[in-house]
């Protein structure tokens, strides 16, 4: 057995010499882990990244240099913006941020919105201006938003006008968010549309160092305490040269559609950054996706690339067979395990082999995957060029092929948490440990086994069991509870709560619904327990520790 290499392969250079940081607000830089806890980085020799590189400036420059200025970039049922149009609007928003609200490089900006052109433009403007984009899920409640605000300490927030209520409540509760600017509101005083219309679009991109921070991506992990994964401009540019280049291979004529939120790094890459890197365009719908609506929109818009979770592919299959999607050529699945039955169902309905992949918020995007012509049934794929992955034991030694172990990864991206002791759990001896159990076959294909922690992944969403337990325990009828994920044919897993009630409360369907509604009111709706089982007592050790593994066992 081989211990993971203590240094990158000799043929792969380290990063370019660092440039001086342009981020005068050092809040994030000062709260990074100590360098000896950072993951080692391996960069491909054929795609150097200069020491000074603004991610958004680079994306637009690449599009213009390749002749895509007048090609569509952002689409909706209301408007289509070319790359030139989008850059003008991004520049105007950046002017508002820096001229009207005194944003300086390194300031954090909270972004709250769904997948819309307004959200995409706002994210790009923040990063172009040298700010740190902190995107948040549109379904989050005030409590969850308050935790993000408390950790990121944003200077201001840009929020979709339809989602203001919960953010305003969080603003009032924390007192830590002094300024809130709505977008996607036409002609409303103080809105981004009105403020940016008063600008001329002449903006000089912030000359950040490639190692300056571009974004913070929040993930709840297994405890419910939010973790902020920090990524630099270099990280995202390096990611563009990995999975999109070697596996996806999008082209300028592609039209991308999908369900992953821009607040997820999976969605940010697939639904904005990677299409820009290819000179392609993205379509953002004005209506919520349902399986049938997505199929009809793919057909209507002529989408060629689709991103969504396995649950949606399974539900879309019948409609895809019925209506057909003649322009669709690439389908990407990530966010949860892709059952082979779902992959075969979709292939039978459409003729398209789904591109599976595993990534992580901490790694920015996908690092194990295979192109449609290189798929092996049951496997997620092979390691993406630019990365190295091994299946190791608890000591970090590689296990024999076919043996279950922990996944360890090294490459051009890696985990750095903001001010979080959990950094030591994720990065060990320079290697990233995403928290998954795998096997690897003799040909290098990786087969997913399970999470090696208590994270529940349901329909592509991450749910921390302890966070749901905390919400349930706030209900006056609940004495004790334990929350786990259980297998589900449609969603991969569902959240299940085992509840011990206080005396005098009936363990019936009405109580189950009351508890579900209670959780929905406190947390994002996808976190509520779809199954509730009432128990007389929970299984515990002699010291009182809850034995979740017993709750996962069939009744």
497 occurs within a structural domain: yes
13 occurs within a structural domain: no
Structural domain boundaries enclosing 117: 50-229
| Three-state secondary structure of 493-527 | EEEEEEEEECCCCCCCHHHHHHHHHHHHHHCCHHH
The sign of the CA dihedral 505, 510, 516, 518 is negative
Last residue of a domain, one of 186, 202, 229: 229
| Per-residue confidence (pLDDT) for residue 57, from 0 to 100 | 98
- The CATH number of residue 507's host domain is 3.30.300.30
Q: pLDDT tens digits for 507-538?
A: 999 999 999 999 999 999 999 999 999 999 99
Is residue 139 pLDDT above 80, yes or no?
yes
**Is residue 384 packed enough to be buried (19+ CB in 10 Å), middle (13-18) or exposed (0-12)?**
buried
Q: pLDDT tens digits for 81-91?
A: 999 999 999 99
CB of 185 within 8 A of CB of 191? yes
418 occurs within a structural domain: no
| Per-residue confidence (pLDDT) for residue 453, from 0 to 100 | 66
Whole-angstrom distance, CA of residue 148 vs CA of residue 283:
28
Is residue 452 pLDDT above 80, yes or no?
no
Is residue 160 pLDDT above 70, yes or no?
yes
Is residue 226 pLDDT above 90, yes or no?
no
C-alpha triplet 99, 101, 107: angle, nearest 5°? 105
> Residue 59 has which token pair?
């994306």
Q: Confidence class of residue 9 from pLDDT cuts 50, 70 and 90?
A: very low
Q: pLDDT tens digits for 232-290?
A: 999 999 999 999 999 999 999 999 999 999 999 999 999 999 999 999 999 999 988 88
Q: Cα 541 to chain center, whole Å?
A: 36
Last residue of a domain, one of 229, 252, 271: 229
123 occurs within a structural domain: yes
Please give the average per-residue pLDDT across 78-106, as a whole number. Answer: 98
215 occurs within a structural domain: yes
- The CATH number of residue 148's host domain is 3.40.50.980
Whole-angstrom distance, CA of residue 426 vs CA of residue 362:
9
Domain count, the chain: 2
Q: What is the pTM of this model?
A: 0.86
| Per-residue confidence (pLDDT) for residue 383, from 0 to 100 | 97
Whole-angstrom distance, CA of residue 276 vs CA of residue 30:
31
The tokens 């199954």 sit on which residue? 531
* DSSP E strands, 53-167: 72-75, 80-82, 108-112, 132-136, 156-160
Closest CA to 154 of 174, 170, 190, 178: 178
Q: Give the relative orientation of helices 55-65 and 117-128 as an angle to the nearest 10 degrees.
A: 110
Q: Confidence class of residue 454 from pLDDT cuts 50, 70 and 90?
A: low
Is residue 544 pLDDT above 80, yes or no?
no
* Half-sphere CA count of 223, side-chain side, radius 13 A: 6
Is residue 108 pLDDT above 50, yes or no?
yes
532 occurs within a structural domain: yes
CB of 141 within 8 A of CB of 524? yes
| Per-residue confidence (pLDDT) for residue 19, from 0 to 100 | 83
Q: For the chain, what is the mean pLDDT?
A: 91
Whole-angstrom distance, CA of residue 112 vs CA of residue 240:
24
Please give the average per-residue pLDDT across 366-370, as a whole number. Answer: 96
| Per-residue confidence (pLDDT) for residue 404, from 0 to 100 | 87
Is residue 1 pLDDT above 70, yes or no?
no
Q: Confidence class of residue 227 from pLDDT cuts 50, 70 and 90?
A: very high
| Per-residue confidence (pLDDT) for residue 480, from 0 to 100 | 87
Whole-angstrom distance, CA of residue 136 vs CA of residue 145:
8
478 occurs within a structural domain: yes
Count of CB atoms within 10 A of residue 524's CB?
Answer: 18
Last residue of a domain, one of 229, 255, 273: 229
Please give the average per-residue pLDDT across 325-347, as a whole number. Answer: 89
Is residue 542 pLDDT above 60, yes or no?
no
Q: Confidence class of residue 99 from pLDDT cuts 50, 70 and 90?
A: very high
Q: Confidence class of residue 12 from pLDDT cuts 50, 70 and 90?
A: very low
Q: Confidence class of residue 47 from pLDDT cuts 50, 70 and 90?
A: confident
Whole-angstrom distance, CA of residue 251 vs CA of residue 254:
6
378 occurs within a structural domain: no
| Per-residue confidence (pLDDT) for residue 222, from 0 to 100 | 43
* DSSP E strands, 126-221: 132-136, 156-160, 179-183, 213-219
The neighbouring-strand residues paired with 217 are 135, 229
């Amino acid at each position: 057995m081989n211990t993971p290499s203590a240094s990158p392969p000799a043929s792969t250079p380290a990063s370019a010499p660092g440039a001086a940081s342009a981020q005068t607000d050092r809040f994030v830089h000062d709260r990074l882990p100590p360098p000896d806890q950072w993951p080692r980085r391996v960069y491909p020799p054929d795609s150097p990244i200069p020491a000074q590189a603004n991610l958004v400036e680079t994306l637009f420059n690449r599009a213009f240099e390749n002749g895509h200025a007048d090609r569509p970039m952002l689409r909706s049922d209301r408007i289509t913006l070319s790359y030139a149009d989008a850059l003008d609007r991004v520049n105007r928003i950046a002017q508002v941020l820096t001229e009207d609200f005194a944003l300086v490089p390194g300031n954090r900006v909270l972004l709250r919105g769904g997948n819309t052109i307004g959200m995409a433009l706002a994210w790009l403007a923040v990063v172009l201006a040298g700010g740190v984009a902190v995107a948040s899920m549109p379904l989050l409640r005030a409590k969850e938003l308050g935790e993000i605000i408390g950790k990121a300490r944003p200077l201001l927030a840009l929020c979709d006008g339809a989602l203001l209520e919960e953010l305003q409540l969080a603003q009032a509760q924390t007192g830590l968010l002094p300024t809130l600017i709505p977008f996607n509101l036409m002609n409303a005083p103080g809105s981004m549309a009105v403020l940016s219309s008063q600008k001329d679009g002449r903006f000089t991109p912030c000359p950040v160092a490639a190692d300056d921070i571009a974004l913070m991506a929040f993930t709840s992990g297994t405890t419910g305490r939010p973790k902020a994964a920090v990524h630099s401009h270099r990280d995202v540019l390096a990611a563009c040269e990995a999975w999109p280049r070697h596996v996806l291979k999008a082209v300028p004529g592609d039209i991308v559609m999908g369900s992953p939120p821009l607040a997820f790094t999976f969605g940010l890459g697939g639904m904005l950054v990677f299409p820009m890197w290819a000179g392609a365009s993205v379509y953002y719908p004005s209506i919520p996706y349902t399986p049938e609506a997505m199929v009809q929109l793919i057909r209507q818009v002529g989408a060629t690339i689709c991103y969504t979770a396995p649950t949606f592919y399974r539900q879309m299959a019948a409609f895809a067979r019925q209506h057909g999607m003649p322009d669709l050529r690439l389908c990407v699945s990530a966010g949860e395990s892709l059952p082979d039955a779902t992959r075969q169902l979709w292939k039978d309905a459409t003729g398209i082999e789904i591109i599976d992949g595993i990534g992580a918020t901490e790694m920015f995007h996908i690092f194990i995957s295979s192109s449609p012509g290189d798929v092996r049934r049951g496997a997620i794929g092979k390691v993406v060029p630019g990365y190295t992955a091994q299946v190791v034991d608890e000591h970090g030694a590689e296990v024999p092929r076919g043996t279950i172990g922990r996944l360890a990864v090294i490459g051009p991206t890696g985990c750095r948490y903001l001010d979080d002791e959990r950094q030591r759990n994720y990065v060990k001896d320079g290697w990233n440990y995403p928290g998954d159990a795998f096997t690897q076959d003799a040909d290098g294909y990786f087969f997913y086994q399970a999470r090696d922690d208590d994270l529940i992944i349901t329909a592509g969403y991450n749910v921390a069991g302890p966070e749901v337990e905390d919400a349930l325990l706030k209900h006056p009828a609940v004495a004790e509870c334990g929350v786990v994920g259980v297998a589900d044919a449609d969603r991969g897993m569902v959240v299940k709560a085992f509840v011990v009630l206080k005396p005098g409360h009936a363990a019936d369907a009405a109580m189950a619904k009351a508890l579900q509604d209670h959780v929905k009111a406190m947390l994002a709706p996808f976190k509520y327990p779809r199954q509730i089982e009432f128990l007389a007592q929970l299984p515990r050790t002699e010291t009182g520790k809850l034995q979740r593994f017993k709750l996962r066992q069939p009744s």
